[in-house]
């Protein structure tokens, strides 16, 4: 058994969530400039890395349950957890679409030297900026809910 396998899923998810948070920040930084052919080539591997990471999170959550540690301690949070989980699935689905669209844009620009569809890139950039903001909010809401339960648990001490 590898050391990483011995750790609980919650702790692996914590480090995975931190890395995802950093990658979303990288996406936001790359989107501060115009999405031209060069920036698109830099952005694509970041989005692909983020996609692999969230796919890994999804597999871990399928095995352990999404925010089950929160629900174990605070069953009344079920509706909030369910809403966060639904939003999270939507954001991850959108990420897959963005990776596909950006990949097609980059591939097309490589095959037709000098041609880069700026109109498509502008629309994609606007959608990605909105997505990155919502993804950041999602991570913040998950963290706040976990912290609220942790503080509640401390307050219920003997």
95: domain CATH number? 1.20.120
Return the number of other C-beta atoms located less than 10 Å from residue 21's C-beta: 15
Residue 148: per-residue pLDDT: 85
Domain-embedded: residue 132: yes
Give the domain range for residue 132.
12-155
What confidence tens digit (pLDDT) does each residue in 61-109 have? Answer: 888 888 988 898 888 889 999 999 999 999 999 999 999 999 999 888 8
What confidence tens digit (pLDDT) does each residue in 115-134 have? Answer: 788 899 999 999 999 999 99
Residue 85: partners with Cβ closer than 8 Å, 6 or more residues away: 66, 67
Is residue 20 packed enough to be buried (19+ CB in 10 Å), middle (13-18) or exposed (0-12)? buried
Is residue 106 packed enough to be buried (19+ CB in 10 Å), middle (13-18) or exposed (0-12)? middle
Domain-embedded: residue 88: yes
Domain-embedded: residue 114: yes
Domain-embedded: residue 42: yes
> What is the distance between the alpha carbons of residues 97 and 103, in angstroms, rounded to a whole number?
10
Total tally of structural domains belonging to the chain = 1
What CA–CA distances, in Å, run from 60 to 37, 81, 128? 35, 16, 25
Q: Tokens 């936001």 appear where?
A: 28
What confidence tens digit (pLDDT) does each residue in 19-60 have? Answer: 888 899 899 999 999 999 899 999 999 999 999 999 998 888
Higher per-residue pLDDT: 16 or 98: 98
Domain-embedded: residue 69: yes
Domain-embedded: residue 86: yes
Residue 54: per-residue pLDDT: 92
Domain-embedded: residue 5: no
Q: How confident is the model at residue 7 (pLDDT cuts 50, 70, 90)?
A: very low
Domain-embedded: residue 7: no
Angle between helices 78-111 and 118-155 (to 10 degrees): 150
38-47 burial by CB neighbour count: b if 16+ within 10 A, else e? Answer: ebbeebbebb
Strands (E), 6-153: none
pTM recorded for the entire structure: 0.81
Residue 147: per-residue pLDDT: 87
């Amino acid at each position: 058994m590898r050391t990483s396998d011995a750790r609980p899923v919650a702790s692996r998810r914590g480090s995975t969530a931190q890395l995802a948070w950093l990658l979303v920040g990288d996406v936001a930084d790359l989107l501060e400039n115009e999405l031209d052919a060069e920036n698109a080539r830099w952005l694509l591997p970041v989005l692909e890395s983020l996609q692999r990471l969230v796919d890994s999170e999804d597999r871990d959550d399928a095995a352990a349950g999404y925010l089950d540690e929160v629900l174990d301690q605070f069953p009344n949070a079920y509706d909030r957890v369910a809403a966060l989980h639904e939003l999270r699935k939507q954001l991850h689905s959108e990420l897959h679409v963005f990776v596909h669209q950006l990949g097609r844009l980059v591939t097309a620009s490589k095959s037709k030297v000098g041609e880069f569809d700026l109109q498509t890139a502008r629309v994609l950039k606007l959608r990605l900026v909105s997505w990155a903001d919502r993804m950041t909010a999602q991570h913040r809401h998950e963290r706040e809910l976990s912290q609220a339960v942790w503080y509640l648990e401390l307050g219920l001490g003997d």
